[in-house]
Amino acid sequence: MRVLAKTAYLLTTAALMSFGAVHMASANEELMKMASDAKNWAMPTGDYANTRYSKLNQINKDNVKNLQVKWTMSTGVLRGHEGGPLVIGDVMYIHTPFPNIVYALDLNNEGKILWKYEPKQDPNVIAIMCCDTVNRGVAYGDGKIILNQADTTVVALDAKTGKVVWSVKNGETDGSKGESGTAAPMVVKDKVIIGVSGAEFGVRGWTAAYNLKDGSLAWKAYSTGPDAETLIDPEKTTHLGKPVGPDSGINTWEGEQWKTGGGTTWGWFAYDPKLNLVYYGTGNPSTWNPVQRPGDNRWSMTLMARDADTGVAKWLYQMTPHDEWDYDGVNENILVDGMEVNGAKRDVLVHFDRNGFAYTMDRANGELLVAKKYDPTVNWATEVNMDPNSDQYGRPQVVAKYSTQQNGEDTNSTGICPAALGTKDQQPATYSPKTGLFYVPTNHVCMDYEPYKVSYTAGQPYVGATVAMYPTPNSHGGMGNFIAWDAAKGEIVWSKPEQFSVWSGALATEGDVVFYGTLEGYIKAVDTEGKELYKFKTPSGIIGNVNTFEHGGKQYIAVLSGVGGWAGIGLAGGLLGAEGAAAWQTAVAGEKAPTDEEKSISTAGLGAVGGYAALADYTTLGGQLTVFGLPD
């Protein structure tokens, strides 16, 4: 009763806060207007629906072969450059990995630097950033540029001057708990929505909303814990159509493990203005050793739909209960109206999960419509049960051979597909309303996974597994595919192999061109049937997202290049040699660190170093913005 009373009080208070915020509902009409103008790229993912689709068509399938570099700029920073530039009118805003510099560039004057903001952060934060020092972009709202720094400080900068308007600590900035910031913020109405990183350090994940005007906290929703802290209504919040019941964020954990349970929120946000719901996914439970945390470990690995004003959850869906493979659920959710699924038109959410399944769901109520593998070599589960009358409804059917839980501690489970970095990591897909298809950058990688017992110490790695990655055996092509996906049917329409994983965000345009980047550094353009039309090699591997904008009556394509991220951590973190790998292993695995030099290198970087060792033969570290256009 105490929990229910607390929840009722919370929801009543939230409702009153919502009423008081009604007058602010129109505060962000400026942003919505900017995002609807294809000349701009006003949000990290282009629009609230995360389609990454542009109505610009000056660059099209017939002339894209003529693209040329118009101008470039060095960011002055090495390591992984994820995310992409914003364009608001005549100004472009770009960001870097740590130390998270932000530049404002004048598009009327050859990219002249209007201002530069470089925060002062403790460099010790680098050591607690699991998979490179990446940052996925800045957001715009109400004349402010919002930056989520590596040390979890969220800063609002005056878009015209770069001066700090407000600054707030989203987490512990001294690294004492392993909390860090890598996600791009999303501005929704009068709020800034932001998450947190650090599940590999036992961080208990959350999403927070800060008031855009002054940075004050509006609401904070944890991924695990009691209802009053997860902002879950036990009677009204549903999972696959049924109420979740009291304290659902506690009762599938053993003891108080939920307090170090992971479920961090470092991916992308989407927003439906009609439903006033914010959508996002939560990451892996901590530790990576599943034997140490029995139960479903809710609400890690979960898609969440929350009221934007109050944070109260409307519905949840846990994709990978009791995760045994580190298949974080943080990937973007793409919103599409009127998709015909099973003979009926539905407003849907489409999610390409790390676990290798693509989900199509009714975004109003969380009904599961489609769940299919988007790489046929996915083998850890046979299917997702789609029978509403089954006690397995919505659950993946795990194959015992690839279950690290069933195989147990100190047993090396081999041949698991996909690897921990998933069939797709955070690199966003794109959707074209012209074709009705999704264009998806994917990984084609498998792994061996050996869990071991680990103890929790605040601020120290809390991993508990040794992982080795390698290209999917007995398959044609390389370590990645760029695919076209029919989300209504759950089918691959076409697939274009790539030598390495496709780790960049894709872009579809009304000109019938789809753009993406490769880990070797190529920006590529294909038509809607997958035929390659253009490619250009930038100075470093591309893990950034390809964006487009129009200025002076001309369309441009822009991308950040700078190899890194999880796939490129060997290069970015200096782990390709014995000394660097050994230091990493000691820091992460302690007494479990491999003593064999070859194994030490191959399993460093949470397994990615060995899998992507050949990448060093094709690219090197860098940090550059490249802007393309048609000949004058």
Express the helix, strand and coil content of the chain in percent, nearest 5 each.
Answer: 15, 35, 50
Handedness of CA 162, 167, 171, 177 (dihedral sign): positive
Both tokens of 66, joined, read 């003529």
Both tokens of 271, joined, read 């927003």
CA 405, distance to chain mean position in Å, is: 26
Q: Strand 491-498 to strand 480-486: parallel, antiparallel, or no bridges (unpaired)?
A: antiparallel
Look up 326 and say whether it is catalytic. Answer: yes
Spatial contact of 107 and 553, defined as CB atoms under 8 Å apart: no
Query: 92-95 contacts: CB < 8 A, separation 24 or more?
Result: 92/549, 92/558, 93/138, 93/140, 93/145, 93/159, 94/560, 94/625, 95/135, 95/137, 95/138, 95/147
What torsion, rounded to 10 degrees, do the Cα atoms 126, 128, 129, 130 define?
140
* HSE, side-chain direction, 13 A CA sphere, residue 311: 28
The torsion angles phi and psi of 606, rounded to 5 degrees, stand at 55, 35
- The closest of 498, 534, 492 to 513, measured between CA atoms, is 534
* HSE, side-chain direction, 13 A CA sphere, residue 234: 20
Both tokens of 350, joined, read 């489409």
Amino acid at position 81, single letter:
H
Which residue among 132, 272, 326, 328 is the active-site one? 326
Q: Strand 507-509 to strand 491-498: parallel, antiparallel, or no bridges (unpaired)?
A: unpaired
- Give the C-alpha separation, 378 to 531, whole Å: 25
- Give the C-alpha separation, 405 to 202, whole Å: 19
The torsion angles phi and psi of 124, rounded to 5 degrees, stand at -65, -15
Catalogue the active-site residues. Answer: 326
